[in-house]
């Protein structure tokens, strides 16, 4: 949880509902609100000139989306698209900043969330700079798995579709699938009824 929901609500945040494929904001929009997910999944993405999607991030319960851009005078460099049915708290930028100014602890909470996102970017950038699809996918899975305690092999069920894994690593689905199959042969992952265990 980035910021306690009750604090946001008493500050005047409104609860908004979104349905899958709805767009919360678009690349080029001027940021006006702070958004925090109560429940559901949202992806931050871009589409290249050929229409291929690159997913910057997938966010869910308790996480905020696009907050980093609020701190700079720039339009969004990505879209926020709803994956699953969502309820989201929305607080106007100016109220959000007043809130932070009155509560230094909240600044720290936002900071720590921001740092986590930045950490993800560093980790992913390292593996994405590799041409090898196996290294890219492992970089993604290593990061995701690092948030759980049990680090033993095959204890982590990858909570992503192959499509999403491909979009997060800049691969095409088919390559992601082939690579995952190869990783299964190499005993890096296990596959049980299409679920990937890492």
Partner DNA sequence: TCATTAAAGTTAT
Partner DNA sequence: ATAACTTTAATGA
Site for DNA, rule CB under 7 A: 21, 50, 52, 131-134, 161-163, 170-175, 177-181, 191, 193-194
CB of 21 to DNA, least distance (A): 7
Cα separation of 22 and 166, whole Å? 21
CB of 164 to DNA, least distance (A): 7
Enter the tokens of residue 55: 């997913």
Please list, residue by residue across 7-39, b when 16 or more beta carbons sit within 10 angstroms of its beta carbon and e when fewer do. Answer: ebeebebeeeebeeeeebbeeeeebebbbbbbe
> Which residues does residue 16 pair with via DSSP β-bridges, in sequence order?
88
CB of 104 to DNA, least distance (A): 41
CB of 174 to DNA, least distance (A): 4
Nearest CA to 57 out of 83, 95, 90 is that of 83
Between helix 133-145 and helix 173-185 the angle, nearest 10°, is 80
38 or 173: CB nearest DNA = 173
Residue 188 DSSP code:
S
Specify whether the CB–CB gap between 20 and 81 falls below 8 A. Answer: no
Cα separation of 22 and 35, whole Å? 15
74 or 182: CB nearest DNA = 182
103 or 163: CB nearest DNA = 163
Indicate the SS3 state at residue 134: helix
105 or 174: CB nearest DNA = 174
CB of 123 to DNA, least distance (A): 20
CB of 153 to DNA, least distance (A): 20
149 or 194: CB nearest DNA = 194
7 or 173: CB nearest DNA = 173
Q: How far is CA 54 from the centre of its chain?
A: 12
């Amino acid at each position: 949880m980035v910021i306690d929901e009750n604090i946001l609500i008493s500050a005047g945040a409104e609860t908004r509902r979104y349905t899958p494929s709805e767009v919360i904001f678009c690349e080029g929009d001027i940021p006006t609100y702070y958004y925090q997910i109560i429940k559901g999944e949202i992806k931050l993405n871009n589409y290249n000139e050929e229409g291929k999607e690159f997913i910057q991030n997938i966010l869910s319960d308790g996480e905020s989306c696009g907050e980093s851009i609020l701190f700079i005078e720039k339009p969004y460099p990505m879209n926020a698209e709803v994956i699953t049915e969502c309820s989201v708290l929305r607080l106007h930028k100016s109220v959000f900043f007043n809130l932070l100014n009155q509560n230094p602890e909240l600044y720290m909470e936002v900071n720590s969330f921001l740092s986590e996102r930045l950490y993800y970017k560093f980790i992913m950038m390292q593996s994405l700079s590799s041409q090898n699809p196996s290294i890219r996918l492992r970089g993604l899975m290593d990061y995701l798995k690092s948030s759980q305690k049990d680090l033993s092999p095959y204890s982590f069920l990858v909570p992503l579709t192959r499509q999403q894994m491909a979009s997060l690593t800049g691969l095409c689905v088919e390559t992601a699938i082939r690579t995952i199959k190869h990783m299964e042969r190499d005993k890096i992952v296990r596959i049980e009824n299409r679920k990937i265990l890492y």
